[in-house]
Structure 1
Amino acid sequence: MRRPYRQQFPSVSVESRLRNSLLAVDFRVLLPAFPQHFNVVCALAGMGFPWSKLGLLCKEEEALIFEMDPSELQRKIDGIKSGYGLNSVSVISICLAFPRVLYSEMDDLLSDLRVLLLDHDLLSYVEGNVDAVLEVCEKVRMFYDLGCKMGKVGELMGRSKSIFVEHSKEVLMSKIEYFSKLNVQKDQIGLFLLSRPEIFGFDLEGQVISVLGFLEHFGLEKEELESLRQKYPHVFGRNRMANLPHVMRSMDLGEWFFEKMKRGDHSLLVTYAISSMEDDVDKHYMDSLIRLRAKRTYIYAIQKLNFLHSIGFGENRFAVKTLSQLNSSSSQLQRRFNCLLHCGIEYSKLCAMVKLSGKILNQHESILEKKLEFLCNDMQSSLQYLDVFPGYLCYDLEQRIKPRFELHKWLVDQGLCEKEYSLSTIIASSEKTFVARLSRIHPAAPNKWQENSLKRDSRAAAP
């Protein structure tokens, strides 16, 4: 006869089961300090903390909990229960999501959570177990991580409790990431999403939009639209709703768009629809797409094309032209694009630079950083100069940019050149044109250039 499940295996002590459970959760953190903190671990488990969740208390500074006296932990938990009227399940869940409440004063956080869980009765909408309440607390933490101030948003969260009940953490994160792409203040994104809970039910991914039609739908006048088309022609055409935040940033409209939604126009996101199948279709783009499909490298090319659409390029001839200049993978292109943004180039200007010279993104991040450093520090120029001469980033730093600039600087310092030529004139000229200009500046200048070239070649040839 088959024995009951509990009798199939020899009995194991509580301490052994606790040790095995903890080590399975986060053995890299717990194992070195286990003997020292074992009493605290046992005390927490005795208070009702699930063994499988105790690893959440061991991250970075939260490991301070295991230095505390177990009786002090008990007093802290009892104080939270009595002070805020929360039950054991709620307090344990809060401690797991916000371990600092166990050793710091966090009245603002606890006040917010009391309003959400008790005053707005969220607890009646979730299962009464630690896993369910912990998930709610982890969702709440996402908004604090955005910069929402503890103690200031409890009522707002309570009025929008559907966010924490009806939607998964993945849905919350996807919406947060979507609007974060507009590059507006993070706390404003948090407050916007809390005040507009219906937006979590919007499909912001699959729909195809016409950029022109969408801007009209959001209220731009014909004169404004024409100005944008003249300034940012690479953005217009069709694109996906998923790329909309970067479409707006590529026209320097990110903040304008976000302010419109904050004022209540967010509903326009779901009321927009393309008027017809032919609306804003670029024939040149579609023909190019057909030719791409016939190539063996189709998938590779489409990935790069999708990268261009994701940063704001529409389905138009400019995207096709830029695609022909790109010889790196989509992931490499994204890293280099992000690198240039991190260096301080404005988003809309960077997109315009890529339109003019897509080869910029064919270079490794370290090379791009060195060129920008030389531009700003040695040439004493600014990133704004790239607006008129983005091709600067395409020339070789050691063989072209540095030697030509240094020779020009030497001529000026020696008083041999009264005119200061622009960087584009110095760098972009062909070798023949450059040497001819040196001859006109001073008869000895070409010899100096030749001498410097021989030195560079010898250094390059040295082992």
Structure 2
Amino acid sequence: MLSLSSRVLAHLLSSPATSTISPLGRLISAAAPAVPPNPSSFAVEEYLVATCGLTQAQAVKASAKISHLKSPAKPDAVLAFLAGLGLSAADVASLVARDPQLLCAKVEKTLAPKVAGLTGLGLSRPEIARIAFLAGDGLRRRNIVSKLHYYLPLFGSSENLLRVLNKDSYLLSSDLERLVKPNVAYLRECGLGACDIAKLSAHKPSPLNISTERIRTAVAWVEGLLGVPRGSPMFRHALQAVAFFSEDKITAKVELLRKTFTWTDAEVGIALSKAPKLLTRSEESLQHRSEFLISEVGLQPAYIAQQPAIVCYSLEGRLRPRYYAVEFLKENGLLKRNPSYGTVFKDTEKAFRDKFICPHKEAVPHLAEDYDAACKGELPTNFRFTRAKNVL
């Protein structure tokens, strides 16, 4: 049977969090058992399911790491502390499932000082709660405060920091002195500022988590194989694209692009210098876009090489719907001149609607509805027509 304190905690974790954290003494007293627990009656698996919210399968796996617990006193105090931070019941369950030993942490000696340190860095309670969730076992580590003391000025703000950690929380467990700091120093040598480094780090996996030698190799490929110099607006994007590739894989991707779009070596170079993301596209993705842009739309390979960003756009959610809408307008004589499809595809959604949808509401009342349907992957009857090839 669960102790009274466990039932109290289950209610506490399921209740909406207050805007401010309670004093530590009050948190611990809220979890204090009304009657002394009977050590022999404490069932870890039952506690993990009933009080922490784990599934039975998660509880079986987690209980093996905390089977030495004979009383709910310490985990009760930890759960009360987490609830006081503002973590939801679902967050607590996820955190405990990832790091069961957190329930064995000493609140006053381990957890409370970490929160005090993070508060001293200017982080708000909701931000600390989010970091606690992302940190996993990092909340028990001594160096989490010193790491965030380094990351906050690097990324410029707590908002940027959380954006990065949401994508790659491994930065909280990375070796700051041997890995992260040398990588940041080298990236700065390459001309990247704090904003660029933050944007690089917001990708998963982050280049900050690989060896500095690997980054040096990637920079050499960016400059040599792709022809993108340091200081170029595309340098950061190119580095992100190749950082986790081998030279053989990059060479194979370049060859795939050449064959798929029938590009010359020079055209491949032009395309990659403008859109390094092409290297991250799958063979199937590239093939479908080639068939659409060249065979259906009628764009010339040389033109696509000059406008390679269009290859990276969603085929079903952007390219096809816009093409269908513009072709419909052309076939019905509603456009004064034929637009460039490079512009059609690159326009923001608002700009495209302002140019091609809104002006024709009276002449074609169903156009907006048909376009919206096409964006959802449907092909409206009005968009089924014989499409003439363009000659760009």
Query: TM-score under structure 1 normalisation?
Result: 0.34
Which structure has more relative contact order (CA 8 Å, sep 6+)? It is 2
Which structure has the larger Rg? 1
Give the TM-score taking structure 2 as reference length: 0.39
